Amino acid sequence: MNAPDNLFPFDSLIRDHADKLEAQVIAWRRHLHANPELGNREFETAKMVAAHLRKLGMEVQEKVAHTGVVGVLKGCKPGPCVALRADMDGLPVTEETDVPFKSQARAMWNGSEAGVMHACGHDTHVAILMGVAEILAGMREQLAGTVKFIFQPAEEMPPIGEEGGAKMMIAEGCMQNPTVDAIFGLHITSKQHANVIGYRSGPIMASADQFRIFIRGNQTHGAQPWSGVDPIVVGSQIVLGLQTIVSRKMNLTEEPSVVTVGSFNGGNRSNIIPDEVKMEGTIRAFDERHRTDIHAFVEKITTLIAESGGAKAHVHIAHGYPVTSNDESLTAWSVPVLKRVAGDDAVGVCPKTCGAEDFSYYQQAVPGFFFFIGCTPKDQDCKSAPSNHSPRFYVDERGLKVGVKALATLAADWLQAHAQTSA
């Protein structure tokens, strides 16, 4: 669908500039891909971003949440403030793709040396937003308000013992001076073909919490279990009991959820019943109320089953990222913009994903819209394509330009629409 340019005066300007910038955006992406950095260690990436934003005449703040960069572009007309966010960190993954710009980087991660790769596409997010910054900086005279460019570290979690990511960016003021009124973000995904945009109103990505359970029994000889308390049997009953939370306690007609025990450790000999068993698992939810309820059920079920078997249990739940939930009115406003950019047939509702994103913290502060852009070549089945976080994750770079056009158009149109509303 191509609407007349007189109805949407920014479209042709953004489209033409994105066409001219495509090769540069791809070059930026390849440089970043060949030189990935882990969370809170994105030093060279941050320098590259900050230099680019300064060259465009923006106010730039560095070292936000360790290595974050925030650029402020003030339009020549009065209006509100919109933010655009890109995450910068790579993953401790050794790359296995066969591309000329394959990462050879290695670094220390939580005490161990590991290969480093942009296995989730954050290199594309940075390159896309750098392109958007150049386009919108060239439209300064037409912009009615302010655009804030947030280049964020540590979306994939900071190293153990450190803080970081969106939560720390917000705490250090990235959403203030000027105050952000709405925020947009995107993510590359192998689940869609290149140039295809997926969105969803309301919950789109799950919360992610980790739990650890310690069960204390009473060690004894395996030939006489009645002489002690067997934490392995009690722990096994707890694993089964936890499966009833989703199947019997949660209203699945509202939102899905997941409780998974991924680690179960206890004992070291076949004829010794140990003193203790340790379990670890993950909790995923698409509703913050469900999330709270699941936490309470994990605690209650674990404690009561342990007591019934004569054991003692301690439950520790570490809160991870909240539910990534798109503001309904902002989503409704955004979809027609995306369809103008990519075409009606290339924009559609995507399934929810149980992966998590710390973009959710921005959405707790202001209305936010987060969407996906496909990166799988059109001649490949998305179901068989290596997923994000795979060492074989591959990006069809022909999809980058639609990301540039989408974010630039969303920002410019949103400022124009809301400047007129507030006038």
pLDDT digits (tens, 9 = 90+) for 69-103: 999 999 999 999 999 999 999 999 999 999 999 99
User: CA 17, CA 24: separation in Å to the nearest integer?
Assistant: 11
Q: What is the pTM of this model?
A: 0.95
Residue 3 domain-assigned (yes or no)? no
Q: Are residues 350 and 212 in the same domain?
A: no
Q: Are residues 61 and 95 in the same domain?
A: yes
Burial of 224 (0-12, 13-18, 19+ CB in 10 A): exposed
Q: Which pLDDT score is estimated for 420?
A: 67
Say what percent of the chain tops pLDDT 70: 97
SS3 content of the chain, % helix, strand, coil (to 5): 35, 30, 35
| Other residues' Cβ atoms within 10 Å of the Cβ of residue 252 | 10
Q: Which pLDDT score is estimated for 157?
A: 96
Domain that holds residue 90: 10-205+323-422
What are the residues whose beta carbons fall under 8 Å from the beta carbon of 348, sequence distance 6 or more?
196, 197, 198, 199
Residue 197 domain-assigned (yes or no)? yes
Q: Which pLDDT score is estimated for 421?
A: 60
* Nearest partner of 270 among 222, 236, 233, judged by Cα: 222
Q: Are residues 77 and 168 in the same domain?
A: yes
Residue where a domain terminates, one of 273, 290, 318: 318
> Does residue 4 surpass a pLDDT of 90?
no
Residue 252 domain-assigned (yes or no)? yes
Choose the catalytic residue: 321, 357, 361, 362.
321
Are the C-beta atoms of residues 54 and 73 closer than 8 Å to each other? no
Residue where a domain terminates, one of 318, 336, 371: 318
Residue 121 domain-assigned (yes or no)? yes
Compute the average pLDDT of residues 213-230.
Answer: 98
Q: Are residues 141 and 227 in the same domain?
A: no
SS3 (DSSP) at 44 = helix
Q: Are residues 159 and 240 in the same domain?
A: no
* Nearest partner of 95 among 314, 318, 350, 386, judged by Cα: 386
Q: Are residues 190 and 241 in the same domain?
A: no
What are the residues whose beta carbons fall under 8 Å from the beta carbon of 230, sequence distance 6 or more?
217, 273, 309
pLDDT in tens, 129-166: 999 999 999 999 999 999 999 999 999 999 999 999 99
Q: Which pLDDT score is estimated for 8?
A: 85
pLDDT in tens, 5-64: 556 889 999 999 999 999 999 999 999 999 999 999 999 999 999 999 999 999 999 999
Q: Are residues 340 and 283 in the same domain?
A: no
User: CA 23, CA 252: separation in Å to the nearest integer?
Assistant: 46
Q: Are residues 60 and 155 in the same domain?
A: yes
Residue 4 domain-assigned (yes or no)? no
* Nearest partner of 325 among 300, 361, 297, 290, judged by Cα: 361
Q: In 116-218, where do the E strands start and end?
A: 144-152, 182-193, 197-199, 202-205, 207-216
Say what percent of the chain tops pLDDT 90: 97
CATH classification of the domain holding 364: 3.40.630.10
Q: Are residues 144 and 279 in the same domain?
A: no
Size of the chain, expressed as the number of residues it contains: 423
- The amino acid sitting at 41 is R
Q: Are residues 132 and 232 in the same domain?
A: no
Residue 191 domain-assigned (yes or no)? yes
Q: Are residues 160 and 211 in the same domain?
A: no
> Does residue 263 surpass a pLDDT of 50?
yes
Q: Are residues 72 and 37 in the same domain?
A: yes
Q: Which pLDDT score is estimated for 1?
A: 47
Q: Which pLDDT score is estimated for 282?
A: 98
Are the C-beta atoms of residues 320 and 358 closer than 8 Å to each other? no
| Terminal CA-CA length for the chain | 30
Mean pLDDT of the chain: 96
397 is catalytic: yes
CATH classification of the domain holding 250: 3.30.70.360
Residue where a domain terminates, one of 318, 352, 368: 318
Residue 299 domain-assigned (yes or no)? yes
pLDDT in tens, 293-333: 999 999 999 999 999 999 999 999 999 999 999 999 999 99
- The amino acid sitting at 52 is H
Residue 2 domain-assigned (yes or no)? no
Domain count, the chain: 2
User: CA 261, CA 283: separation in Å to the nearest integer?
Assistant: 9
Element (H, E) at 318: strand 312-318
321 is catalytic: yes
